[in-house]
Amino acid sequence: MSEVIYVDVLVAINIFVTYLLLAASVLFSAVQVKRWRLLVASLLGGVASLAIFLPPLHWSLFALMRIAIAALIVYVAFGFESWKRALRCYAAFFGVNFAFAGIMLALWLTVRPDGMFYQNGAVYFDVSLLVFVLFACVCYAVIRGVVLLLRRRHPGNCACEVVIQVGGQSITLPAFYDSGNKLCDGFTGAPVIVVEYAALHGFLPEELRSFFQSEHGLLDVPAEHLWRTRVREIPFHAMGHEGLLPAFRADRVTAKTKSKSQLTEHAIVAVTTDELSDGAYSVILQASMLER
C-alpha cells in the first residue's frame, strides 16, 4: 500500500522541526543569533524536506546531500564571523540533527507507527497537528533542560552584560563570555576584554577618539588629561592575524549573567573597529571574568 503524503503538511512539519533543531543548536553552541535568521533557515529546512519524494539514495549520495543541506542551513542561521565560531555551530547542529534523525529512524524501523514515513533524511507524520507540536515541544524542553543542567557548574560560552566604569562614568553593553578567551595584559596580567569602537564612541573622550579608531599609531596625551595613564596598545594574535589594539584601563568592569555578577578591578578594555557580531553583542569577555 502506497503512502499518501501531503506536501503542505510535510513542509510545515519540517519547518517546525528545523526551527527546534536550530534552537537546540543555539543552546549547545552558546552563540547569539537573530530570530529572523533562524526563521529563514527553517524555511530552507522545510523546502529540503521535499527530498522525501526522491527514490532511496545510496548512502554516499545521501550523506553528501545531507551535509550540503545542513551546511547551507547553518550558514543562513548563524552567518560567518570566524572559523572557530563556525565549527562550533556546525558541530552543534550536526550533533542535534543526527540525534533527531537517529531517533526517527529507530522509531520507524522498530515501531513503524501508522502515519509516519521516513526517507532520505526527511520525516512525515500524518497525525494530529496538536499531538505533533506537543511531542516536539517536549523533546525541545528535554534538550533545554539537559543543557541548563550542564551549565550549572560552569558558565561556558554565554550571553551576558558588562558594565565598564571609568572616573565616575559608566556604560552598560551586551557581551559574550568566551570561556576560551585567555587574553591578558603582558605587563600587569590584568584580563583584557574586546569592545567594538561603535559601542564606545560616545563614552570615549572626544580628543582621543582618533586613537581608538585605529589599530596602531602613537598617542600624544597631555599630562593633565584624565586618561593620560590609562591608554596604551595591546598586542593580540587571533586566527593568523596579529597586531596592536588601542586600549585603556578601566576602574572596574562588572560582568553579569542571570545568575551571577562578578567585578574585576583595573581590567583592560581593548577597542576594535571590527564588528564582533551581527548586533547581538559588542563585547567579548575574558575567561577569568566569570570563573572565579
Q: Is the pLDDT assigned to residue 238 strictly greater than 70? A: no
pLDDT score of 147: 61
Split at pLDDT 50, 70, 90, the class of 158 is low
Report in angstroms the alpha-carbon separations of 37 from 26, 45, 54, 159.
12, 12, 28, 18
User: Which of 11-20, 76-85, 106-115, 250-259 has the highest mean predicted lDDT (pLDDT)?
Assistant: 250-259
pLDDT score of 292: 54
SS (H, E, C) the chain: CCCCCCHHHHHHHHHHHHHHHHHHHHHHHCCCCCHHHHHHHHHHHHHHHHHHHCCCCCHHHHHHHHHHHHHHHHHHHHCCCCHHHHHHHHHHHHHHHHHHHHHHHHHHHHCCCCCEEEECCEEEECCCHHHHHHHHHHHHHHHHHHHHHHCCCCCCCEEEEEEEEECCEEEEEEEEECCCCCCECCCCCCEEEEEEHHHHCCCCCHHHHHHHCCCCCCCCCCCCCCCCCCEEEEEEEECCEEEEEEEEECCEEEEECCCCEEEEECCEEEEECCCCCCCCCCEEECCHHHHC
The residue-averaged pLDDT of 261-266 equals: 88
Inter-residue contact 208 to 219 (CB < 8 Å) = yes
Q: Is the pLDDT assigned to residue 44 strictly greater than 60? A: yes
β-strand 268-272 against 283-285: which pairing, if any?
unpaired
Inter-residue contact 228 to 222 (CB < 8 Å) = yes
pLDDT score of 287: 75
Percent of the chain with pLDDT over 70: 67
52-65: pLDDT as tens digits:
666 776 767 767 87
* CA-atom Rg of the chain in angstroms: 24
pLDDT score of 237: 66
Query: Cα–Cα distance between 32 and 35 in angstroms, integer?
Result: 10
83-118: pLDDT as tens digits:
777 888 888 888 877 777 666 656 555 655 555 555
Half-sphere exposure for 262 (CA within 13 Å, toward CB): 16
Interhelix angle 7-29/129-150, rounded to 10 degrees, is: 10
Split at pLDDT 50, 70, 90, the class of 163 is very high
pLDDT score of 96: 79
What's the predicted TM-score (pTM) here? 0.51
pLDDT score of 171: 94
Split at pLDDT 50, 70, 90, the class of 153 is very low
Among the residue ranges 82-96, 122-136, 144-158, 177-191, the one predicted with the least confidence is 144-158
